[in-house]
């Protein structure tokens, strides 16, 4: 009986396989109807264009914008819609030299806006060269920070090079979403480390980045203050949070999601990483609280004289209170270190104010 049942099952499977083979390549009417409906629904969707295409269109179109990317085609506006268009003839030599042609158009002043991507960010100079026709001061807008510090310096160096008539102005765009501060903090920390290692000055690569770097001793103190205000009711740093029960509950919910309820101590880097998984409104609220705690912690440290701003240039008027005194002499090299006490007036003197008024 079992052998007969097995034989019947094998025969049934063979029949189904033969039927499938016979129907192979034939369209199923139900599937065709479903496919047509999906294609129609996709065609009716009003999706926005890619960010790069929209940016080029808002800046005047391809005739006014020099595009230096790895793309072979772009989406351009046609009437009320958008259509794909090749950047050059597909089977011509124009495609290989396209970025060079666009770069020359920008440097010659034929196009006053340039868009450059990571694919074309090496070996292209876009600075206000004294030998080029376009010597306008460059405004370098970075839409997306590079993850690597050396790559970020390479990208910024496209518009800041030797023989320039004016230095560029950099604009680093960042949204108010709390989780995005994690990327800015990481790049700032790496840039400071690069400057400290290569030139002995953490400001050497791109200037002071203290406002971007959150993973510092003050950032860790601010995070501890936020945790203390949310869980222990400590109002010394964030008094408005301790007094608002609804804000406390919302902050606890966000912190619970960030901590995942498994760790007692939360590092700043991990806190910012896990903030990325929260809804945008919760990210914004948590980061605003963290930023407020950081401002208060730094302000308190400055009032108490405990805040170390590192090496700072004195650009205001200064008066020497105590003469320089030798505090250290290296026994091997003979290098000397001196210290002096100065009084700094960061305001404007009366004589300077009168001269500016005239």
82 contacts 75 by C-beta, under 8 angstroms: yes
Q: How confident is residue 264, by pLDDT bands cut at 50, 70 and 90?
A: low
DSSP 237-281: S-HHHHH-HHHHHHHHHHHHHHHTTT-SS--HHHHHHHHTTS-HH
Q: What is the pTM of this model?
A: 0.62
How many other C-beta atoms can be found within 10 angstroms of the C-beta atom of residue 131?
8
In this prediction, residue 133 carries a pLDDT of 93
Reduced to 3 states (helix: H, G, I; strand: E, B; else coil), residue 130 is coil
Average pLDDT over residues 256-270: 64
Q: How confident is residue 30, by pLDDT bands cut at 50, 70 and 90?
A: confident
Average pLDDT over residues 298-324: 75
Q: How confident is residue 142, by pLDDT bands cut at 50, 70 and 90?
A: confident
Cα–Cα distance between 214 and 206 in angstroms, integer? Answer: 17
Q: Identify the top-confidence range among 8-12, 118-122, 167-171, 259-263.
A: 167-171
- What is the per-residue pLDDT across 182-209, written as a single tens digit (0 to 9) for each? 777 777 777 666 655 445 555 554 555 6
In this prediction, residue 114 carries a pLDDT of 93
Which of 109, 160, 120, 105 has the alpha carbon at shortest distance from 138? 160
Residue 263 reports pLDDT greater than 50: no
- What is the per-residue pLDDT across 212-232, written as a single tens digit (0 to 9) for each? 677 788 888 888 888 887 777
Cα–Cα distance between 202 and 311 in angstroms, integer? Answer: 9
Q: How confident is residue 22, by pLDDT bands cut at 50, 70 and 90?
A: low
Q: How confident is residue 139, by pLDDT bands cut at 50, 70 and 90?
A: very high
Cα–Cα distance between 358 and 353 in angstroms, integer? Answer: 9
- What is the per-residue pLDDT across 80-109, written as a single tens digit (0 to 9) for each? 777 788 887 766 667 668 888 889 999 999
Cα–Cα distance between 57 and 79 in angstroms, integer? Answer: 13
Q: Identify the top-confidence range among 49-63, 165-179, 308-322.
A: 49-63
Residue 38 reports pLDDT greater than 90: yes
Residue 348 reports pLDDT greater than 80: no
Residue 175 reports pLDDT greater than 90: no
**Residue tagged 């010659």 (tokens):** 108
Reduced to 3 states (helix: H, G, I; strand: E, B; else coil), residue 336 is strand
């Amino acid at each position: 009986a079992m052998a007969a049942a097995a034989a019947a099952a094998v025969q049934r499977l063979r029949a189904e396989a033969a039927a499938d083979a016979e129907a192979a390549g034939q369209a199923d009417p139900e599937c065709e109807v479903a496919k047509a409906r999906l294609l129609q629904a996709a065609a009716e969707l009003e999706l926005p264009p890619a960010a790069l295409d929209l940016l080029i269109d808002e800046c005047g179109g391809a005739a006014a914008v020099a595009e230096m990317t790895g793309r072979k085609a772009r989406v351009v506006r046609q009437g009320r819609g958008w259509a794909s268009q090749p950047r050059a003839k597909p089977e011509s030599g124009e495609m290989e030299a396209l970025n060079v042609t666009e770069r020359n158009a920008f440097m010659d002043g034929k196009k006053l806006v340039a868009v450059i991507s990571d694919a074309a960010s090496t070996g292209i100079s876009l600075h206000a060269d004294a030998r080029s026709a376009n010597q306008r001061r460059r405004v370098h807008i970075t839409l997306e920070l590079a993850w690597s510090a050396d790559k970020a310096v390479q990208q910024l160096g496209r518009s800041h090079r030797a023989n320039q008539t004016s230095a560029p102005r950099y604009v680093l765009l960042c949204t108010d979403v709390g989780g995005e501060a994690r990327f800015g903090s990481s790049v700032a920390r790496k840039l400071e480390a690069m400057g400290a290692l290569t030139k002995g000055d953490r400001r050497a690569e791109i200037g002071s980045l203290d406002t971007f770097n959150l993973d510092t001793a003050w950032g860790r103190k601010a995070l501890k203050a936020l945790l203390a205000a949310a869980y222990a009711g400590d109002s010394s740093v964030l008094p408005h949070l301790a007094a608002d029960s609804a804000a406390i509950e919302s902050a606890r919910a966000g912190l619970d999601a960030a901590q995942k309820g498994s760790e007692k101590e939360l590092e700043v880097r991990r806190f910012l990483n896990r903030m990325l998984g929260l809804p945008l409104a919760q990210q914004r609220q948590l980061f605003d609280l963290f930023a407020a705690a950081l401002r208060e912690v730094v302000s308190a440290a400055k009032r108490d004289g405990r805040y170390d701003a590192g090496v700072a240039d004195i650009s205001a008027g200064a008066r020497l209170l105590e003469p320089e005194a030798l505090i250290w002499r290296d026994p091997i090299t003979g290098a000397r270190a001196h210290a002096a006490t100065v009084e700094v007036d960061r305001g404007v003197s009366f004589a300077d104010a009168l001269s500016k008024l005239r």
